Structure 1
């Protein structure tokens, strides 16, 4: 999948400049531990940043020999770097399709075992039944019972009592169900999600779509924001749908929903988790002329670690050599990827792997650090038990410090 372009192949330059760059002398890059060689016209490299211009056209040994070694850079990242040098664009990595683990043999045996569906028989009832039969046999042997009429009357009285008890229990269950329904409706109305006079089917739809049911993974930050907006909007409408509502109450409801600023995002009813996600979505990221929307992952067995790493490593290279245009493009793509990334519990590690790459290649205050840190601030309560997340918090102290300071905003 191609990322958005930051410009055309000869952005900011004439056709002559591109032709001149294409005809310039090649510069040799020896990349990675395998020492793979790449030849790129030096003028395409020189245009990227003053640092690279000095590397290929300066008085250093590398410029004199037209050769440089980058042993710490992987080949895939260099290929994306070369793509950007020629076209101001690059291709991100593809997600890795994982094989689901085989089912637990014990669970399979339990599901397929005939005993799992065997009916349990109460032997106590059978014993009682046999003893009663024995008593009847004894009675037959003893001959006619003078108290037989009294026994029949007792049985009829017991049946009448059972019928009365049954009707009483049914009435009790009915009353209990009605009280539960009334309590459910009352709670639902207090939440302000739906109109109390609304149709039952409509109410169910509104409850399903408007009440946030995103307390557990998986969800994406973008999806959470959209659901929260829908919830607030529906609540606002339902609060004002009450007929003959006094103006004082309307003002009170309006203030409670929108807050003093008149912006529903500043509402006291809006949770602080939403505020963190809103800050993440509205981060000041360099603008990219062409729009690009990343695809949405729909399976827990699609690893997006290679996708994230392709952006992060290229950002680290751009930071090292001062390539501002490439930094802006990679940061834009990484931010969008994280914004739309469906966070499955099994895929938490995909994003965790970003932390050492970004924090290990940038300095304090770098915007890429804030992108990664704020992402985890939004979902900290969902990933806190992840062994990978806990390990990176212990090992990358600057990340832990940034995360704690940002998390305090969710406690205020």
Structure 2
């Protein structure tokens, strides 16, 4: 039976559409148990959904190896969350990355703990049999108010591209040609000078003027940006994606830690790389590229990127696609990364990354 199944394999999945085919054969295939992580948590998948992903996985579940004979595979090096993402992709063609964590600043934690202690030490002022009156609590503060200092200079590669593309627009979002007269005032994020945004004389259904495409730079700063080598490199980073549409959640505050978000992609990539699941590996690279493009590189969040680089360079080989992606991103954002005092120490601890980054930065010399 196993030999017949193996001979009937017409091909391995090479494009996203292949993942949506042959469900009947997959559901009729034998179950295979995977013992995942150091605790050997048991998960069961159809052998058909695993075997079609790559030749090494096909041999693993349908070949002559011990795992195929016992219908049991041990993956102690794979954590449970990564395995769940792998299984999710194997069945559906997509996966969910980790969510960011909210890191409270010490002042907030101290205030909360002090309030809790004072409340617990206050003697009751009502008899035990009488219910305590409800005290309305103040509404929770927005994340931006929890942060002691806001990094106003931080930005993302997506915003940089948007600013560069919005030089002296002549049409509004609806395609109307701008007419003289109407304008709105704004402040440039780069030089802090006031500038005007053109508006369209046409009204929308709600009788509101159409505005020009959103920009955070004045036309002079946009012009300088368009002529820089940095923008040329950022355009290389902003490449067309091979994978399905992926819309990650952009970070909006510096208290949002993205370390696990980044690592959830990287761990899945390493698993795909080990078992030669090229389609998954390519999709992870594209998804991480989109995530980094939208990521606002706050000074306090630079360490999240360093953690990603460290993991990838420890678990991949030279000329690896994800290595190249991270080096290109670092070259695009070297000015922002240099704001972190630990950059020099990090480069010393990761010499392969440092040498590759220097070679890439030569292309940015004006």
- 1:281 to 2:217 alignment: no
Aligned pairs for 1:2-21 (under 5 A) are 7=16, 10-11=19-20, 13=21, 17-21=22-26
Shift in Å at residue 10 of structure 1? 4.4
CA distance in structure 2 between the aligned counterparts of 1:74 and 1:375, rounded to whole angstroms:
27
Judge conservation of contact 2:297–2:336 (CA < 8 Å) in 1: no
- 1:222 to 2:179 alignment: no
Equivalent pairs counted in the alignment come to 261
2:204 is matched with: none
Question: Any stretches of 5+ residues in structure 1 without a counterpart?
Answer: 1-5, 106-214, 235-264
- Which of 74, 79, 89 is the matching residue for 1:84? 89
Root mean square deviation, CA, Å: 2.7
- Which of 350, 357, 361 is the matching residue for 1:407? 361
Higher relative contact order (CA 8 A, sep 6+): 1
**SS at 1:21 equivalent:** helix
1:302 is matched with: 256
Distance 1:57 1:286, change over 3 A: farther
1:261 is matched with: none
2:285 is matched with: 331
Shift in Å at residue 36 of structure 1? 0.8
**Structure 1 or 2: larger strand share?**
2
- Which of 48, 55, 58 is the matching residue for 2:53? 48
TM-score (structure 1 length as normaliser): 0.58
Judge conservation of contact 1:9–1:87 (CA < 8 Å) in 2: no
- Which of 354, 357, 374 is the matching residue for 2:311? 357
Shift in Å at residue 341 of structure 1? 0.5
Shift in Å at residue 394 of structure 1? 1.5
Please tell me whether Structure 1 or Structure 2 has the larger radius of gyration of its CA atoms: 1
Distance 1:268 1:32, change over 3 A: closer
Question: Any stretches of 5+ residues in structure 2 without a counterpart?
Answer: 1-14, 111-150, 171-221
1:119 is matched with: none
- Which of 16, 19, 30 is the matching residue for 1:25? 30
- 1:98 to 2:103 alignment: yes
CA distance in structure 1 between the aligned counterparts of 2:66 and 2:251, rounded to whole angstroms:
47
- 1:60 to 2:65 alignment: yes
Following TM superposition, where does structure 1 have runs of at least 4 consecutive aligned residues deviating by more than 4 angstroms?
231-234, 265-269
The superposition leaves residues 104-147 of structure 1 with CA deviations (integer Å, 9 ceiling, x where unpaired) of 99xxxxxxxxxxxxxxxxxxxxxxxxxxxxxxxxxxxxxxxxxx
Distance 1:268 1:395, change over 3 A: closer
CA distance in structure 2 between the aligned counterparts of 1:362 and 1:8, rounded to whole angstroms:
28
Shift in Å at residue 332 of structure 1? 1.0
The superposition leaves residues 297-342 of structure 1 with CA deviations (integer Å, 9 ceiling, x where unpaired) of 1111111111111111111111110001101211111000000111
- Which of 320, 323, 330 is the matching residue for 2:274? 320
**Structure 1 or 2: larger helix share?**
1
